[in-house]
Amino acid sequence: MQDSSSALIIPRVRYELPGGGVLLVSKRPSAPVTAMRINMRGGILSDPKGREGLSQLVGQLTDQGTADHDEAGIAERIEPWGGAVGGDSSGLRGSMAGDNWQQLLDVMVELAARPAYPKGGVQIQLARTLSHMRVSEEDPRVQGARTFRRLIYGDHRLGQPGSGSLASLEGIGAQDIRDHHKAHWGSARAVIAVCGNVEPDEVHERLLILLKDWDVGAPEPKWDRTFPDREPRAQAFEKGREQVHVYFGHLGVERRVEDYPALVVMDHVLGSGPGFVSRLSRKLRDEQGLAYSVHADIHSSAGLYPGLFTAYIGTSPEHVERAVQGIQAEVESICNVQVSEDELAMAKEYVTGSIVLGYERASARAGSLVGQEVHGFPESFLENLRDAYRRVTVNDIQETAKRHLFPRAATLAASGPVSTNTLRGLMGL
C-alpha cells in the first residue's frame, strides 16, 4: 500500500478450498510480521436462543489447548517468535514476527479444527467471564447501550449482547461449548486470510495438508433478517449516578448500501469526526456545555445485517431534555439544510487521509481481506472507496441523510438518574 495519491490496493490471491472454504493470501515483501485471520461465518447469529454468548466462548476458549497440545504446548510453539493468537465469536486472529508463517498457520488451524475445551480450564475462564459480567451489570453506560439495542432489534439475536449475559451463560459447561464448535466451526464456513512476506501457492499447499484433519461441517444456514419497524420507543435503566448516558437512534444500514461513502462523510460532519469537524461536539459540548462526551454515526456498525444509527451523549440529569432536543435538532438539520463547503472539505480530507493509515498494519490488511470476501467486494475495493469519498458533494450528504436518518421515528434509551416516563415525554409518547 502506498501514499494517498497512488493505488490503494491490497493484492490478493484467492483459492477456493475443498468443502467450500476460502483462502486469501496477500504477499507483502519484506513485511516484518505475518498476520492471519480464520473467520467463521455466522458468529453470534449461531447462538441458540437463551444461550447467547456461547459462540463467543467457543472462540475465546480455543487457547485452552487441542487434542494434540495443551495450553502450555500451544504457547511454546508461537511465543518464542513473538506469536500471539486469540479468538472470539467471529473466529481466530493471530500474528508472528519474521518468516515463521507455517508455524503460525499450523497452530491456528489446529485451534480452529480440534480445540479440546478441557473441563478445568473452561470452568476457570467461565468463572472469570461471569465475574466481569457481574461488574458490567452495574455499569450504567453498558446497560444503557444494551437497552438501546433491545429496543431497536427486538427479539433478534442482534438485540442481545455479543458476549451474552449472566442469565444466558448460566449452566453452560465444556460439553456445551464442544457441541457448539462441532456444529458451527466446520472448514466449509471458514474464510482464511494470510498477509505477510509469503508465497501464496506455498500457503495454499500447506493449508490443503492441514485441512485433512478439519471436518468440513455444515454450510452456513440462512439467518433471521426480521427486525421491528422504525418507530418512537423509550426506556430507561434507572441507576443512582451523577451522569446520564443517553442513546438516540434507530435501525441503520447494511455495509453494501450504495450510499455508504456519503454516509461516512456525513457522519464526520455530524458526530464522528474530530471536535473541530463534528457538529455535535462543537455545539453541544463546546458551545453549550451539555456533554461530557458526545458522538454519532451510522456507518461504523454496518455489516452483513443492518447496524445502528446511534447518537450518544453523556450529560448531567438537569441537561437531559436540552441534550436530547439538541441531538434531534442537529439530525434534522443535516437532513434539511446542506452542509457548508468548508465542513465538507474538512470531512473529506480526514476520511481520505485516514484510509491509508488505517491499513498499514498487517492485521488490518488481513481483516480487510476477510471483509472484502464476505461482502463480495472486488480487489480494488479500497481504491474505489477512496475515490467515492472524493466525489461526495454537499447535495449527496443532504439526500443521503434524508434517505437514512429518521429523527422523528427514533428510539431513546438512557441510564442513570432518569425515568422511562421522562424519556417517553421527550419523545411525545
- 276 has a pLDDT exceeding 60: yes
The architecture CATH gives domain 233-426: 2-Layer Sandwich (3.30)
For residue 417, how many other CB atoms are within 10 A of its CB? 18
DSSP class of residue 70? Answer: B
DSSP string, 104-149: HHHHHHHHHH-B---HHHHHHHHHHHHHHHHHHTT-HHHHHHHHHH
Name the one residue in this structure whose C-alpha cell is 434531534.
328
Residue 211 DSSP class: G
CB half-sphere exposure, 326, CA atoms < 13 A: 28
Residue 6 reports pLDDT greater than 60: no
pLDDT digits (tens, 9 = 90+) for 106-154: 999 999 999 999 999 999 999 999 999 998 888 999 999 999 999 999 9
Domain boundaries defined on the chain: 13-213, 233-426
Region 13-213: CATH code: 3.30.830.10
**Fold match, 13-213 / 233-426:** yes
Average pLDDT, the chain: 94
Question: What is the average per-residue pLDDT within 206-224?
Answer: 96
| Band of pLDDT at residue 429, cut at 50, 70 and 90 | very high
pLDDT of res. 2:
40
Whole-model pTM? 0.93
Digit-coded pLDDT (tens) for 295-340: 999 999 999 999 999 999 999 999 999 999 999 999 999 999 999 9
Kindly state the cell numbers that stand for 395.
Answer: 447535495
The answer to whether residue 7 scores a pLDDT higher than 70 is: no
